[in-house]
Amino acid sequence: MSEFSIDDLKRILRKAAGEDETTSLDGDILDLSFQDLGYDSLARMEAVSLTEREYGISLSEEEMDAITTPGEFMAFVNGRISAAA
Amino acid sequence: MTAVITGIGVCAPNGLGTEEFWKRTLDGTNAIGPIARFDASSYPVRLAGEISGFDPAAHLPGRLLPQTDRMTQFALTATDWAMEDAGAGAGTEGFDPFDRGVVTASSAGGFEFGQRELEALWSRGPEHVSVYQSFAWFYAVNTGQISIRRNMRGPTGVIVTEQAGGLDVLGQARRHVRRGTGMVVSGGMESPLSPWAVAAQIPSGRLSRRTDPDRAYQPFDERASGHVIGEGGAILIVEDADKARERGAAQVYGEIAGYCATFDPPQATGRGPRLEAAVSGALADAGIRADEVDVVFADAAGVPDLDRAEATALAAVFGPRGVPVTAPKTMTGRLSSGGAPLDVAAALLSIRDGIIPPTVNVTREAFRHELDLVREPRQGAVSTALIVARGYGGFNAALVVRSVA
């Protein structure tokens, strides 16, 4: 299974919930909060759902609730992918 | 307190934006045509009033597109236009959010969005259903999305009474203004033209099965065969007259002078419809006599029995041929909850410009003794207009708008 990169996450965020003119995904967003990037809880849920389908993994709501930044999201998904490999 | 309308936003089959809609309405341009949104060749109903050339990405932030049905995209865009028209700007600050409310009408909800997610559910499984299905289909979603986008946190609500809802919301907006809310965004938008949405409307038995766009929706005509459905509507900005003046509103189109709603008893009772009571109730509420009304925008069901009931009710209140009656919706089809707000917009523009828009496609009038049907644009001062709407299921509503001196 391939690694889950920041570009994968950006692609999924755009597909899940679009992109705002005011909060671009360009640049270094690893440590910004999803909230500051303009992605509310529903947008994160949709992004999680897309990630689960695409990478064949399962992420619980409790686990995702603890994740607040793209960097944490990537690390968590990559951990799950390597555990499943 | 006086509730006035200060802004109009239109998304209609015959025009995006108020002036385009109004020009084509006065021209008598028929926007009804073959359904293009999907292959309807296997359907018994082939025609609709569709909006073409609407690009949501040109009007709305990308973030809103994955979470909105087409009807919500119309509603948000028309709200922007109406607010701009009212001189209330695009901003979300500089006013008390709790002094502004939102009340919209709905009938179908986000049918197309819901259909897409049901397809995903049954063809690919529950994990493929969008999280936004939780609200994007919902009747109240236009109210909610407008409230969020415009930072309006005062009284909000949705009214679901089919076609009549488009007037009921203006009655409700007036109530909120009378209770002290400064501004209420109101009106209705629909887009019930997905395969499922069209299928859901056919069992009413009121849809015309004709395929000639000029002969399918002919209300008050001897050959009336039902109506054509359509998408779109209008958003109207309702304000307290004093606060609108203080704010420096760009214009006042007119006052919501009278409103009344009634409900038909079950047919088995034999008590008859209550449309006439709604019309006379609205006049009484406005404190005016029937001869003070300059034009009636009819419900125009296009179903012979319903046309007869409306012609009879109007003749009873206004006298035979006692008032000009028009139905510009003959150019767009019936827009569910979006239809009556569009009629109110047309009525306000009639007042502004001193001209009554025509009813098209009617050639053999069935009620020429009862109705003075306006079939060509008619010039002349208009200061008071009555709008009539009936919703499937027994809802009647009538609204009086009047010019403000």
CA distances from B250 to B82, B85, B167 (A): 11, 7, 24
Taking each helix axis as running N to C, give the angle between helix B339-353 and helix B18-27, from 0 to 180 degrees, rounded to the nearest 10. 80
* A49: nearest CB among B63, B127, B134: B127
- What's the fold here for domain B3-247? Peroxisomal Thiolase; Chain A, domain 1 (3.40.47)
Cβ(B354)–Cβ(B372) under 8 Å? no
Distances (CA, A) of A59 to A3, A51, A66: 16, 9, 12
Q: What is the full per-residue pLDDT of chain B (405 aa) written as tens digits? A: 899 999 999 999 999 999 999 999 999 999 999 999 999 999 999 999 999 999 999 999 988 999 999 999 999 999 999 999 999 977 788 899 999 999 999 998 999 999 999 999 999 999 899 999 999 999 999 999 999 999 999 999 999 999 999 999 999 999 999 999 999 999 999 999 999 999 999 999 999 999 999 999 999 999 999 999 999 999 999 999 999 999 999 899 999 999 999 999 998 898 989 999 999 999 999 999 999 999 999 999 999 999 999 999 999 999 999 999 999 999 999 999 999 999 999 999 999 999 999 999 999 999 999 999 999 999 999 999 999 999 999 999 999 999 997
Least Cα distance to B309 among B383, B390, B207 occurs for B390
Three-state DSSP class for B30? coil
- Single-letter amino acid code for the residue at B253: Y
Spell out where B327-382 has E strands. 355-356, 372-373, 378-379
Among B86, B85, B72, CA closest to B138: B72
Is A21 an interface residue toward B (CB < 8 Å)? yes
Alpha-carbon distance A25 to A29, whole Å? Answer: 7
Domain spans of chain B? 3-247, 259-402
Distance separating alpha carbons of residues B210 and B226, to the nearest angstrom: 9
Written as six digits, the tokens of B272 are: 């008859």
CA angle (B14 as vertex; B334, B391 as ends), nearest 5:
15
Q: Is the pLDDT of residue A63 over 90?
A: no
Q: How far does the CA of residue A12 sit from the closest CA of chain B (Å)?
A: 12
Q: What's the confidence (pLDDT) of residue A23?
A: 65
Domains of chain A: 6-19+28-84 (1.10.1200.10)
Place of tokens 């948000």: B76
Residues B119 and B129: their CA atoms lie apart, in Å, by 9
Matching CATH topology for B3-247 and B259-402? yes
For residues B13 and B37, the answer to whether their CB atoms sit within 8 Å is: no
Helix (H) or strand (E) holding B245: helix B241-247
Using a CB-CB distance cutoff of 8 angstroms, which residues of chain A are in contact with residue B134?
42
Q: Tell me which chain A residues have a C-beta less than 8 angstroms from the C-beta of B130.
A: 46
Tokens found for residue B162: 């089919």
Rounded to whole angstroms, the Cα distance separating B399 from B389 reads 9
* Three-state SS sequence of A44-61: HHHHHHHHHHHHCCCCCH
CA distance B234 to chain A (A): 26
Report how far apart, in Å, the C-alpha atoms of B252 and of each of B5, B120, B346 are: 6, 47, 14
**Is the Cβ–Cβ distance between B258 and B27 less than 8 Å?**
no
Query: Are residues B127 and A16, on separate chains, in Cβ contact within 8 Å?
Result: no
Q: Which of A42, A55, A57 has the highest number of chain B CBs within 10 A, making it the mutation to test binding with B?
A: A42
End-to-end CA distance of chain A: 7
* CATH class in words for B259-402: alpha beta
- Nearest CB neighbour to A20, from listed B62, B67, B127: B62
Residue of A nearest to B127 (CA): A49
Q: Tell me: the pLDDT tens digits for B369-402?
A: 999 999 999 999 999 999 999 999 999 999 999 9
CB proximity under 8 Å: A 29-48 to B = 38, 42, 45-46
pLDDT tens digits along A21-51:
666 777 788 888 988 888 888 888 899 999 9
Q: Which of B75, B67, B204, B193 is nearest to B137 (CA)?
A: B67
**Scanning every residue of chain A, which has its alpha carbon at the shortest distance from the alpha carbon of B125?**
A53
